[in-house]
């Protein structure tokens, strides 16, 4: 659906050149919600604006639905952009226009018949739950309602792609959750491809199918959210994942620092991070394994949550006992399909 090939974007000013994106390759499938996460200045906003050529790449190609946008002339590009909706962090609504007219705006630009505009605007306002607010102005709306107007406007032209540029970072947590649920519903209803950039891992965790981590203008890690979230490989990814959890890095460091204990003669210990996914999260797998092997254990840290409605759990466990019995315990857990990382 979306292919970025060798994407490079540089800015030059006063004899200095800044590279925002460097030979970046990315593939996004039709109908998926794809997240791009990175710190401020990593290049994620430049990346998403290159997809619809609001920022023209210095080099590389941008393919959307089989069309190379970088080869198009101005009029052809305008036609292709109608297939790409976009919502923004600060809403970008017309302050002097009503909710109705904000949603109708892109349709009026292409001379859509008035009756067709009316049908589409009413359909979109019903979709985002703002039917009763059509005559209000943006100043009369909450932040969440403004973003819903932005979503309705972006969808009015029946796009095949929706770009979300930090769409929830200006909202409170409760409103963020409602907007994310709305995007998820829209994705499922219309099979709409959504590209979402953010600096918040919980946004990725809640609705995305796959994620790419961007750092210094390049992709340092990407894959299914469950895999990246539970088994982060790059230091930047591990930082995002740990900070998203309560206590973050400080808690993990404290656990590791205090994981040791005075054990009796002949008693060994091993510190292991155990990850559960799906229904196994709720099963007594750990309890069954240690009963079978006779190993003692202590849970030093634990998380149970969901990744796009899929339950997962992660426990930091210290196993104590005979060396062979500990190894047998880990084998029992592995046989049950659990993922383990030996920390110490």
Condensed to tens digits (0 to 9), the pLDDT of residues 241-258 reads: 877 655 444 445 555 555
Regions of the chain where pLDDT drops below 50: 247-251, 262
Count of beta carbons in the 10 Å neighbourhood of residue 320: 18
Among 271, 284, 295, smallest CA distance to 336 is for: 284
Looking at residue 115, its pLDDT comes to 95
Cβ count near 232 (within 10 Å): 19
pLDDT at position 247, please? Answer: 47
CB of 331 within 8 A of CB of 294? no
Could you tell me the two tokens for 169?
């970072």
Q: What is the pTM of this model?
A: 0.86
The 10s digit of each residue's pLDDT in 277-319 is 888 889 999 999 999 999 999 999 888 888 888 889 889 999 9
The count of other CB atoms within 10 Å of the CB of residue 342 is: 9
Q: What are phi and psi of 244, to 5 degrees?
A: -75, -25
Phi, psi of 199 (to 5 degrees): -115, 10
Domains of the chain with CATH codes: 2-244 (3.40.50.300), 255-342 (3.30.70.260)
**68, 62 in Cβ contact below 8 A?**
yes
Would you mind telling me the total number of residues written for the chain in this entry? Answer: 344
Q: What is the pLDDT of residue 250?
A: 46
Helices (H), 191-262: 201-207, 225-230, 235-244, 248-257
Residues 165 and 156: their CA atoms lie apart, in Å, by 18
């Amino acid at each position: 659906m979306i292919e970025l090939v060798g994407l490079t974007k540089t800015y030059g000013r006063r004899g200095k050149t800044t590279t925002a994106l460097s030979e970046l390759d990315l593939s996004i499938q039709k109908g998926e919600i794809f997240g791009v996460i990175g710190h401020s200045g990593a290049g994620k906003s430049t990346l998403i604006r290159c997809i619809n050529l609001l920022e023209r790449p210095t080099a590389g190609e941008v393919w959307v639905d089989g069309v190379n946008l970088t080869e198009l002339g101005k009029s052809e590009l305008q036609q292709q952009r109608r297939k790409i909706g976009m919502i923004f962090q600060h809403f970008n609504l017309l302050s002097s226009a009503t909710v109705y007219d904000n949603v109708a705006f892109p349709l009026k630009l292409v001379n859509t018949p008035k009756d067709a505009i009316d049908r589409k605007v009413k359909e979109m306002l019903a979709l985002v739950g703002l039917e009763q607010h059509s005559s209000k102005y943006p100043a009369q709306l909450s932040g969440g309602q403004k973003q819903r107007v932005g979503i309705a406007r972006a969808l009015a032209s029946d796009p095949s792609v929706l770009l979300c540029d930090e769409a929830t970072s200006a909202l409170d947590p409760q409103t963020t959750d409602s907007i994310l649920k709305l995007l998820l519903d829209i994705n499922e209803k219309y099979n709409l491809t959504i590209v979402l950039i953010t600096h918040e891992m919980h946004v990725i965790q809640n609705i995305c199918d796959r994620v790419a981590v961007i750092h210094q203008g390049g992709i340092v890690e990407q894959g299914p959210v469950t895999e990246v979230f539970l088994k982060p490989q790059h230091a930047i990814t591990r930082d995002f994942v740990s900070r998203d959890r309560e206590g973050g890095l400080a808690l993990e460091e404290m656990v590791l620092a205090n994981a040791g204990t005075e054990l009796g003669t002949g008693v060994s210990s091993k510190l292991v991070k155990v990850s559960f996914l799906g229904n196994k999260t709720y099963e007594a797998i750990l309890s069954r394994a240690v009963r079978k092997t006779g190993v003692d254990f202590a849970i030093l840290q634990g998380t149970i949550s969901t990744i796009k409605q899929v339950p997962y759990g992660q426990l930091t466990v210290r196993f104590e006992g005979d060396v062979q019995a500990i190894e047998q315990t880990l084998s029992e857990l592995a046989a049950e399909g659990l993922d383990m990382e030996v920390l110490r």
